[in-house]
């Protein structure tokens, strides 16, 4: 399975800045990207068209969306649908990122609806899961993650194609804080997630990629990416500069 090295740009960058970063990234990585790695750039909506133009035709580079509304089309002012994303070259989309769960108030049921709808519309869906620090301190990591997996993947065919689904474990307390989870913690959680996926999807669960996200930087990526059941990383802050993100991709 290829390692997915994903850059989540969140609500950063003007159009010019985004094009400059994407172009620099491609320039640094062209002909250097290992066979077993793929690069996924997930910019804000305003940059999808421009970044698509930069990535188009570059082997190993993919475009993803940070969000969408789960409807075909219609009177949903301010929203974007999967068809519009695919039209702009997106192959992936996120659902359940902690900022959408905890700032925008998206609950497990809505996240599950998005995962089902995105898959049906031909997007590869990245379901983000992760516990808050209070949940970890209370010993509830497994309960929280299993609930998020169960609800987030509800109604999905047990024979799902593992190429279409990705899970990202992102402990909320590690996102944007500089406090990366310990290697033992990542190893243990990814094993739990793998077991749950195999239980839910007996044929494909072992091949569904599990990414780690939370303060991944060039200096900690090599040890994280080498762990069992870590099939890539989802990077926020350190993905905003081509230099640091390319070091992570090549780690
Ligand atoms: C993220 O936005 O998904 C993320 C992991 O952010 P950071 O790398 O900044 O912690």
52-70 pLDDT, tens per residue?
999 999 999 999 999 999 9
Per-residue 3-state assignment (H helix, E strand, C coil) for 172-207: HHHCCCCCCCCHHHHHHHHHHHHHHHHHHCCCCHHH
The two tokens of residue 100 are 């959408």
Rounded to the nearest angstrom, the gap between the alpha carbon of residue 128 and the centroid of all alpha carbons in its chain is 7
CA distances for 207 relative to 1, 79, 170, 202, 218, angstroms? 7, 32, 19, 10, 26
Ligand 1 centre to CA of 236 (Å) is: 3
Nearest atom of ligand 1 to the alpha carbon of 97: 3
As a whole number of angstroms, the distance between CA 22 and CA 103 comes to 27
Q: pLDDT value at position 71?
A: 98
Ligand 1 centre to CA of 176 (Å) is: 5
Q: pLDDT value at position 166?
A: 98
8-39 pLDDT, tens per residue?
999 999 999 999 999 999 999 999 999 999 99
Classify domain 3-249 at the CATH topology level.
TIM Barrel (3.20.20)
154-213 pLDDT, tens per residue?
999 999 999 999 999 999 999 999 998 999 999 999 999 999 999 999 999 999 999 999
Q: pLDDT value at position 206?
A: 97
As a whole number of angstroms, the distance between CA 68 and CA 83 comes to 10
Residue 235 CB–ligand 1 contact under 6 Å: yes
As a whole number of angstroms, the distance between CA 219 and CA 186 comes to 16
Q: pLDDT value at position 135?
A: 97
113-136 pLDDT, tens per residue?
999 999 999 999 999 999 999 999
As a whole number of angstroms, the distance between CA 75 and CA 218 comes to 43
Please tell me which residue in 97, 99, 131, 190 is annotated as part of the active site: 97
Q: pLDDT value at position 110?
A: 98
- Decide if 196 contacts 149 (C-beta within 8 A): yes
Test site for ligand 1: of 186, 215, 219, 225, most ligand atoms within 8 A of the Cβ: 215
Count other C-beta atoms under 10 Å from residue 103's C-beta.
9
Q: pLDDT value at position 215?
A: 96
Test site for ligand 1: of 10, 237, 241, 251, most ligand atoms within 8 A of the Cβ: 237
Residue 237 CB–ligand 1 contact under 6 Å: yes
Residue 63 CB–ligand 1 contact under 6 Å: no
pLDDT band with cut points at 50, 70 and 90 for residue 137: very high
Q: pLDDT value at position 61?
A: 98
Q: pLDDT value at position 131?
A: 97
Please list, in sequence order, all residues whose beta carbon lies within 8 angstroms of the beta carbon of residue 219, skipping any fewer than 6 positions away. none
- Decide if 205 contacts 197 (C-beta within 8 A): yes
76-109 pLDDT, tens per residue?
999 999 999 999 999 999 999 999 999 999 999 9
Q: Whose Cα sits closest to atom 8 in ligand 1? A: 236
* pTM of the model as a whole: 0.98
Q: pLDDT value at position 73?
A: 97
* Domains of the chain by residue range: 3-249
Residue 209 CB–ligand 1 contact under 6 Å: no
């Amino acid at each position: 399975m290829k390692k997915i090295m994903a850059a989540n740009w969140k609500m950063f960058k003007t159009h010019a800045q985004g094009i400059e970063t994407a172009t620099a990234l491609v320039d640094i990585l062209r002909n250097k990207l290992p066979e077993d790695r793929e690069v996924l750039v997930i910019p804000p909506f305003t940059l999808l068209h421009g970044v698509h133009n930069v990535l188009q035709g570059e082997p190993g580079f993919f475009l993803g969306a940070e969000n969408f509304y789960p409807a075909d089309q219609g009177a949903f002012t301010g929203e974007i649908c999967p068809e519009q994303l695919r039209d702009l070259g997106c192959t992936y989309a996120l659902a359940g990122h902690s900022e959408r769960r905890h700032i925008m108030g998206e609950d497990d049921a809505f996240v599950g609806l998005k995962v089902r709808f995105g898959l049906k519309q031909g997007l590869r869906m990245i379901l983000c899961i992760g516990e808050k620090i209070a949940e970890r301190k209370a010993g509830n990591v497994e309960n929280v993650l299993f609930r998020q997996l169960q609800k987030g993947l509800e109604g999905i065919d047990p024979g799902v194609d593992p190429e279409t689904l990705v899970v990202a474990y992102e402990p909320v307390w590690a996102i944007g804080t500089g406090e990366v989870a310990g290697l033992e913690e990542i190893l243990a959680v990814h094993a739990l997630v793998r077991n749950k996926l195999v239980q839910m999807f007996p044929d494909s669960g072992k091949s569904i990629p599990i990414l780690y996200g939370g303060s991944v930087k060039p200096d900690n990526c090599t040890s994280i990416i080498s762990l069992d059941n870590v099939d890539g990383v989802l990077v926020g802050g350190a993905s905003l500069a081509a230099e640091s993100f390319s070091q992570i991709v090549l780690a």
